[in-house]
Amino acid sequence: MNRKDFIANVGFGAVALLAAQCGIGCNKQNTTAVDFTLDVSTGALSQSGGYLINNGVIVAKTLTGDFIAVTAACSHEGTSVRYSSSGNNFVCPSHGATFNSSGSVTKGPANTSLTQYKTALSGNTLRVYA
pLDDT digits (tens, 9 = 90+) for 11-50: 545 444 444 344 333 434 444 699 999 999 999 999 999 9
Nearest CA to 98 out of 83, 86, 85 is that of 83
Nearest CA to 52 out of 130, 123, 119, 122 is that of 119
Alpha carbons 68 and 88: distance in angstroms, whole number: 10
Q: Supply the pLDDT for residue 81.
A: 98
Phi and psi at residue 89, in whole multiples of 5°?
A: -150, 175
Phi and psi at residue 113, in whole multiples of 5°?
A: -65, 155
Q: Which CATH class is domain 32-129?
A: mainly beta
pTM (predicted TM-score): 0.75
- Ordered by start, the domain boundaries in the chain are 1-28, 32-129
In this structure, how many other beta carbons lie within 10 angstroms of the beta carbon of residue 2? 7
Q: Supply the pLDDT for residue 113.
A: 98
Given CA atoms 43, 48, 49, 52 in this order, what sign does their dihedral have?
Answer: positive
